[in-house]
Chain A
Amino acid sequence: MNFLSRTISGTVAGLIVSALFSATVHAAGLMTPVRGNLPQLSIREHHVDVVIEDGYAITTVEQVFANPHDDALEAIYSFPVPQKAAVGEFTYWIDGKPVTGEVLEKQAARDLYEQEKAQGRQAALTEKDEYRTFDISVYPVLPNNDVRIRLVYIQPVHTDLGIGRYVYPLQEGGVDERRMNFWTYNSTVEEAFSFNLQMRSSYPVDEFRLPAHPQVMVQEQSPQDWRLSFGNQQAKDSIEEGDTGGQVLASHNLDEDIVVYWRHAQGLPGAVDLVTHREEGEKRGTFMLTVTPGDDLGLLEQGRDWVFVLDYSGSMAGKYQTLVEGVREGLDKLSERDRFQIILFNNGVREVTSGYVPVNQQNVERYIRELEAITPDGGTNLYAGLQRGYRLLDADRPSAVILVTDGVANVGVTERKDFLRLLEKHDVRLFSFVMGNSANRPLLEGMATLSNGFSVNVSNNDDIGGLLVQAADKLKYESYRDVEVKFSGIKVKELAPERIGSLYRGQQIILFGHYWGDGPAKVTVGGKVLGENRTYTSELDFPKVMERNPELERLWAYAAIEDLQNRIDYLGTDADSRQAITDIALEYDLVTNYTSMIVVAEDVFEAQGIDRSNKTRVEEEASARKQRAAQPVKAHRQDSTTPAFGNSSRAYPSNGAGSVGLFGVLLLLPLLLLTRSRRA
């Protein structure tokens, strides 16, 4: 039967993911050096407010750090970098008044912070440690006193197979040994903790789910307006008047990611959505285009070769046996037409199988036994593992490489450009499963994109089964390759991302850009499916003035910076790209690898000649947020009149309904007549 073979191939990659999570957890928190005699500060309050609307999420984190000791201390708070998060606001309460930070080049910001600290003046600094963490330094936290800070970041939000996912990352993967050896983390919120999320979706939402936080209170105002909340007792006491408190817990530790899923209503059409921002009098506007294709990709029927490239470095120690169990389950589901090989890597490479072996019970049992006998240890020579996997590919058969890792490449070849060049030599899709918040996501995502595969980020608190279904669904279907988006009728430039690559069933295209002029235009989305060109067209309307979403400017800037960073990673550091990133970050006030956000007293900003551009931007954004909250949910669909994808609904996780239908009912009539006539 068709559905037998169709099911098997796609399920394998996803099953592996289910095997991965029982790692030692390192959390976000206040850091204190392991060696030395500095006393620990405490986190008194931690409040998270998230608003998801118009295709992006705005996360506001407000914290109070307390110093119960007799000396002034410096607070250093570290948390994992949220995916595609543009940090645009950092506020520190100086003398009881909130002061918004400004972005400077990284070293200049650090120098100013140290200068203020040396003089005993109040200062705060947010820095980005590449893909790993955002680090916030605050000085001084006075004896028996506390300090309050607020951080705001924005992220584009997408849905995949009609399911949206938001992660507030708190867990660290425990892969940075140097850092772990140097710092201890205090992750306990001693008084109030709260998490509130408001969803204002232009498409109706059926359901919300927080797999690791079942205590959450979910309120449906309407199918397009939802509120979620939970917190501890103190938070409840402090927010009770606002009536937003969810079910309460006794205490809270910042050691678990908060993962939120939502599911769009069934039967929604494929659609083209456009959100724009343009100040009155500005020649240039900014837009975010979201394309949700119709469900028109066919099922694949062929048998395949599967190469499992599995990390067995030391950081996998707590999860390796579960990984083996996942591989067993995956192999059990392979078709007998498929072949597989298993490659392990740590400091070196180990072939568990000698090349490809056919799928049969005997082989599966044999190689699982071999995997079970192995003990994980050592570093992570990712390059060597992948290189071996690619060297053993058979060009005559369709193949896929499944990479599972939780870490960073730290042995052998570690330069990203070398990885990308390795993949460029082979036309084989790489599907990477990136575990935790500390893995080198830019590297793993870059490789997957270049190979026309995809990358799945997995939190320890994810619904692994749900991710499994999503991944398996994609691999079962055809995909678009060489996807291009073209505009006509209006001048559109500076698109980000520059390259879209492949698009799998259920995925959306999210594209940022600038436009000049206004009025009607057309967008054409094209791609190749099994070598055949397919295009879809939609009318667009670019407004002359639209001041609803000023955050789009920062989202564009972040996407443009990502493109530049990719170029640096691929071609090597060049001064021009680095300067371009710095210039964009300074213009749009973003924290990047090369820029940081500093808060000092207003008179110090003035004395240093630092322009308060971010203060103005933050005020505009806050004002826009307030206005949006007072308005009804806005629809952004552009192709309502002439649907770009015809009558095709968007792709969902495999739903099925049993219907007898008209034909089935008609079929019963002869039986009815027969039984009646016999009775007569």
Chain B
Amino acid sequence: MLTMALCVAAILFHVMPESVRELFYFDAGQLRAGSLGGLVFSHWLHVDWPHLAWNVAALALLGGMLELQSRALFCASLMVGTVAVDVLLLSPLSEVERYCGLSGVLNAVLGCLLYVVWLRTRSRIVIAVAALALSKIMVEMVYQESLFTEIAWPPYPAAHLAGVLAAVILCVIVHWGLSAKGNKTKGLRIGGLTIRSTG
């Protein structure tokens, strides 16, 4: 399963020597010097074990659920999440010189999962989870602190917001495809998942 492989990859990244890991952080100075590896790999690096543990746990849960629904959508959410966080980090809005961690990307996966589960269940639980997730991001952005978590680097919750925005964009595109003529009744097939609107 892809999710399992990615979890293992994140753990392997973490046990690599620091001198090697240093090459893969998102580092504005290194990027200016032409080293682009951080744009992809920084998301799979973590500063310490608690940081790794929570993110890998979330990846296992989120990836496990979304991959079961659609591997293609899972892959797409990882990609758009990565791009969205990178765009934020490279933009003048960015406040950080160095960045690592998967949570920005995971927020894109979460957004897509919520969308899929909502289409399938129309459960209020989905709305509640979405509201709580957004509230968490807002609280973290205001207080610049991670909720109930201590890691060596300060949190950068703006990356979470970037991930959510990426998910919204991706889901709008999917939904537009779903609403297009011809897909309304037969549904939109993404990977192994056929999405039908129940509304």
Contacting A668 at CB < 8 Å: which of B19, B61, B68? B61
Shortest C-beta distance, B40 to chain A (Å), equals 15
- The answer to whether A266 touches B153, judged by C-beta atoms less than 8 angstroms apart, is yes
Q: Is the CB of B156 within 8 A of A671?
A: no
Contact count A vs B, C-beta below 8 Å: 158
Binds A, one of B93-101, B164-172, B182-190: B93-101
Closest CB in chain A relative to B67 CB, distance in Å: 12
Contact A469 B28 (CB under 8 A): yes
Our pick among B22, B128, B158 for the contact of A3 (Cβ within 8 Å) is B158
The stretch of B8-16, B72-80, B115-123 that contacts the partner chain: B115-123
User: For the complex, is A354 an interface residue (Cβ under 8 Å from B)?
Assistant: no
The one of B47, B132, B156 that contacts A667, using a Cβ cutoff of 8 Å: B132
Q: Contacts A266-B152, A668-B61, A674-B121 known; A660 to B129 CB distance under 8 Å?
A: no
Q: Are A665 and B101 in contact (CB under 8 A)?
A: no
Query: How many whole Å from B7's CB to the nearest CB in chain A?
Result: 13
Q: Is B83 among interface residues, defined by CB-CB distance under 8 A?
A: no
Whether B51 contacts A659 by the Cβ 8 Å rule is yes
Tell me how far the C-beta of A667 lies from the nearest C-beta in chain B, rounded to whole angstroms.
6
What are 21 inter-chain pairs, A to B, with CB distance below 8 A? A1-B93, A206-B18, A267-B152, A463-B29, A653-B97, A657-B51, A657-B151, A657-B153, A659-B51, A659-B101, A659-B146, A660-B102, A660-B103, A662-B148, A663-B149, A664-B136, A665-B58, A671-B113, A672-B65, A674-B121, A675-B65
- Chain A residue, CB-CB nearest to B153: A657
Complex CA gap A668/B32 in Å reads: 38
Q: A658–B104 contact, CB under 8 A?
A: yes
Note all chain B residues with C-beta closer than 8 A to A4.
Answer: 93
Considering the complex, give the chain B residue whose CB is closest to the CB of A207.
B22
The answer to whether A667 touches B133 (Cβ under 8 A) is yes
Identify whether the interface residues of B are mostly helix, strand, loop, or mixed: helix
The reply to whether B148 and A663 form a contact with Cβ atoms under 8 Å apart is yes
Other contacts beyond A465-B28, A659-B146, A667-B132: 4, CB < 8 A: A2-B142, A3-B158, A266-B153, A664-B133
Contact B153 A655 (CB under 8 A): yes
Q: Assess the B121–A661 pair: CB atoms within 8 A.
A: no
Q: Of residues A3, A7, A211, A662, which shows the largest number of chain B Cβ atoms within 10 Å of its Cβ?
A: A3
A636-680 at interface with B (beta carbon < 8 Å): 653-665, 667-672, 674-675, 678
List the A side residues contacting B28 at CB < 8 Å: 465, 469
What is the interface of chain B, defined by CB distance below 8 A to chain A?
A: 18-19, 22, 28-29, 32-33, 43, 46-47, 51, 54-55, 57-58, 61-62, 65, 68, 85, 92-106, 110, 113-114, 117, 120-121, 123, 125-126, 128-129, 132-133, 136, 141-142, 146-149, 151-156, 158-160
Q: Is A315 an interface residue (CB 8 A)?
A: no
Chain A residues with Cβ below 8 Å from B123 are: 674
In the assembled complex, the CB of A655 is this many whole angstroms from the nearest CB of chain B, namely: 5
Query: A606 at the A/B interface (Cβ < 8 Å)?
Result: no
Inter-chain CA distance A609–B125, complex, in Å, is 94
A266 touches B47 (CB 8 A): yes
A291 to chain B, nearest CB (A): 22
Partner of A661, one of B54, B96, B129: B54
Query: B-facing mask of A1-45, CB < 8 A → 1, else 0?
Result: 111101110010000000000000000000000000000000000
For the residues of A in contact with B, the DSSP-based class is helix
Q: Is the CB of A3 within 8 A of B95?
A: yes
Chain A residues 419 to 466 lying within 8 A of chain B, measured CB to CB, are 463, 465-466
Which chain A residues lie closer than 8 Å to B154 at the CB level?
A: 655-657
Min CB gap A680→B, angstroms: 13
Instruction: Give the chain A neighbours of B155 by CB distance below 8 A.
Output: 656-659
Interface pairs A-B: 4 shortest CB-CB? A656-B156, A661-B149, A658-B103, A658-B101
Instruction: Judge if A220 is at the interface, Cβ distance under 8 Å.
Output: yes
Chain A nearest CB from B171 CB (Å) reads 15
Contact A657 B156 (CB under 8 A): yes
Q: Is A578 an interface residue (CB 8 A)?
A: no
A-chain residues with CB within 8 Å of residue B98 when the two chains form the complex? 653-656
A548 at the interface (CB under 8 A from B): no
CB < 8 Å neighbour of B99 from A7, A267, A463, A655: A655
- Residues of chain A contacted by B136 (CB below 8 angstroms): 663-664, 667
* Among B33, B121, B128, B158, contact of A678 (Cβ-Cβ < 8 Å): B121
Asked whether any CB of chain B lies closer than 8 Å to the CB of A47, the reply is: no
Contact B117 A675 (CB under 8 A): yes
* CB-CB nearest in chain B for A7: B95
Contact A660 B55 (CB under 8 A): yes
Chain A CB within 10 Å, residue with most, of B95, B100, B120, B154 = B95
Tell me whether A655 and B103 are in contact (CB under 8 A): no
**Contact A659 B95, beta carbon cutoff 8 Å:** no
Contact A661–B148 (Cβ < 8 Å):
yes
Looking at the complex, which one of A220, A333, A661 makes contact with B19 (CB distance below 8 Å)?
A220
Residue numbers in A under 8 Å from B132 (CB-CB): 667
- Does the CB pair A660–B106 fall under 8 Å? yes
Residues of B within 8 A of A2 (CB): 141-142
Complex CA–CA separation, A400 to B68 (angstroms)? 57
Q: Which residues of B contact A663 (CB under 8 A)?
A: 136, 147-149
Q: Is the CB of B95 within 8 A of A661?
A: no
A258 vs B20: C-alpha distance when bound (angstroms): 26
> Please, how many angstroms separate the alpha-carbon atoms of A378 and B72 in the complex?
66
The CA-CA distance from A333 to B91 in the complex, in Å, is 11
Select one of A1, A655, A660 contacting B54, CB under 8 A: A660
A658 touches B95 (CB 8 A): no
Q: When chains A and B are docked, how far (Å) is the Cα of A544 from the Cα of B151?
A: 41
